[in-house]
Amino acid sequence: MKLIGGKLDEDEGLQEHGFFYYPVRPTSFVVSDALDPDFPLIYVNSVFEAATGYRADEVLGRNCRFLQFRDPHAQRRHPLVDPMVVFEIRRCLEDGIEFQGELLNFRKDGTPLVNVLKLVPIHGDDGSMTHIIGIQLFSEANIDLNSVSYPVFKQQCYHRSSHHDVNATTYEESSKSDDSDFCGILQLSDEVLAHNILSRLTPRDVASMASVCTRMCELTKNEHLRKMVCQNAWGREVTVKLELSIKLSGWGRLARELTTLEAATWRKMTVAGRVEPSRCNFSACAVGNRLVLFGGEGINMQPMDDTFVLNLEAANPEWRRVKVSASPPGRWGHTLSWLNGSWLVVFGGCGQRGLLNDVFVLDLDAQQPTWREITGEGPPLPRSWHSSCTVDGSKLVVSGGCTDAGVLLSDTFLLDLTKEKPAWREIPSSWSPPSRLGHTMSVYGRTKILMFGGLAKSGSLRLRSCDAYTMDLDEDDPEWRQVATSGFPSIGPPPRLDHVAVSLPCGRIIIFGGSIAGLHSPSQLFLLDPAEEKPGWRILSVPGQPPKFAWGHSTCVVGGTRVLVLGGRTGEEWNLNELHELRLAS
């Protein structure tokens, strides 16, 4: 195929070459960098922009799969996008061969489009694939997305191509037309059909199907299918993170190990460098494969303002102090959270002159990392020992904590950091959990938060809590709801504060450590799946060398399968430079 001045050679006219043909109208085309693992777009022409509604600056640097998502904020491809065509694209890209086929795409405004797509690999002198050209022929797809169900797209697509009708027959038209006993789906091979069905299931269901018979077991061994199943259950963001961990094990094994946690082990990690001077009450979080620590309470209650990084991808990981050109005021009892990409956000805590309610962000990958203050309108009261998390990669949620006057708080605030001028918004819930400090908030299912434990107000007293509450920020009017756990209450984690909570890729949450009343061991791990209809706590026994008896640890999940635990203190001792890893997959 010849490309002339950004358009396909029109002299060729409308010829069919099997499934693909040379069009007479201006054609959309894009170019991707094939040396990057996720094929980011490096060029899109103006026909692509006009046809899809996406401007070049919105899509360059991204993989073109966003066209399979119904709106720019959707987290997964639309269910009517044929997974087998997507498998086929992946296979061709992996093998470095041409692809041509047809699939459902969406304009930026959500309008469905039929895309007759051709992908052509370009090879360098040494034979390696350097670029891929994508040529798209978009046409209207007049389907009512609310009334059709999977696999209507495939069925219609077969129907149409069997008539070689390349002139974009609408779906309504083709579904009304002749051949009433023609059923496209029955023309699929058993294998394709089985893969189509299996790719809609959860990892647990696919594992059960695999145990039915040898043939089913064979069918479930397809790596693309396995990835699809993981992506259905855990979302795209999580599978992208996990991609790093699957090289040795494969998706099937990873799905099993993360579901059963059979391979989980504790180990002590030794890394070079130290976080100095010594401190407690700092805050840490993971940024991709890096562990970042900010601030803390030094000797003589000195509020610290330094930032340290431990790169776990390095051959010999070492704690390094980040050279920043400006720092937030020193503090402890604050929170540090990871935003999209390489950004961090610090909120609140206790500084030299009392409690704070300021927000600072830092891009860890900037050439000269600089903490920048974000002055959001209507901030929450200054506080420390609150809890925070980030939802959707960009919204900071803060709840509870303690004011200067020692009053415990029960409010929940949200700051959308994607906005040009971020403004704080209190989430008005008709009912709120009792006010508290030292609790945890973990995100699961992309937009849902689980609050657990802390020192909570109970009548005129303050008692350690073991209650769990959830809120879904995707709801029109988000509400806090107490989680009514099933099973014996004695199996659940004993009341505690200053503990840690870890969100696993599959949406379950592990509670660990903290200051616990009585003789209970803080090293015991408790597991909850808040998405279950009747969630029940499970105790997780993990072999290996767990962290010492202590409270006030910090935990972060690195690469989706490595839970790192650092710091913590016993009555007399700060274990600042002790690092343990709970490895979830082998």
Ligand X SMILES: Cc1cc2nc3c(=O)[nH]c(=O)nc-3n(C[C@H](O)[C@H](O)[C@H](O)COP(=O)(O)O)c2cc1C
Shortest distance, CB of residue 136 to ligand X, whole angstroms? 5
Give the chain's length.
586
Shortest distance, CB of residue 30 to ligand X, whole angstroms? 5
Shortest distance, CB of residue 171 to ligand X, whole angstroms? 17
Cβ-based nearer residue to ligand X, 132 or 198? 132
What DSSP string describes 57-69?
A: HHHTTS-GGGGGS
Cβ-based nearer residue to ligand X, 32 or 220? 32
Cβ-based nearer residue to ligand X, 133 or 540? 133
What is the C-alpha separation between 405 and 386, in angstroms, rounded? 15
Cβ-based nearer residue to ligand X, 70 or 290? 70
Cβ-based nearer residue to ligand X, 132 or 396? 132
Cβ-based nearer residue to ligand X, 63 or 524? 63
In this structure, what DSSP letter does residue 249 have?
A: H
Q: Which residue is nearest to ligand X (CB)?
A: 134
Shortest distance, CB of residue 431 to ligand X, whole angstroms? 41
Shortest distance, CB of residue 185 to ligand X, whole angstroms? 22
Interacting residue ranges for ligand X, rule: CB under 6 A = 30, 32, 39, 63-65, 67-68, 86, 89-90, 93, 103, 105, 115, 117, 119, 132, 134, 136
Shortest distance, CB of residue 55 to ligand X, whole angstroms? 16
Residue type at position 25: R
What is the C-alpha separation between 415 and 339, in angstroms, rounded? 12
Shortest distance, CB of residue 194 to ligand X, whole angstroms? 19
Smallest Cα–Cα separation from 47: which of 23, 75, 76, 73? 23
C-alpha separations of 147 from 17, 80, 154, 208, 216 in Å: 34, 11, 15, 31, 31
Cβ-based nearer residue to ligand X, 129 or 324? 129
Beta bridge partners of residue 114, listed in sequence order: 104, 139
Cβ neighbors of 496 (< 8 A, separation 6 or more) are 453, 464, 466, 511, 513, 514, 515, 516, 517, 522, 551
What is the C-alpha separation between 502 and 553, in angstroms, rounded? 12
Smallest Cα–Cα separation from 563: which of 204, 235, 245, 231? 245
Smallest Cα–Cα separation from 409: which of 390, 385, 389? 385
Cβ-based nearer residue to ligand X, 67 or 471? 67
Q: How many CA atoms lie within 13 A of 300 on its CB side?
A: 0
Shortest distance, CB of residue 8 to ligand X, whole angstroms? 15
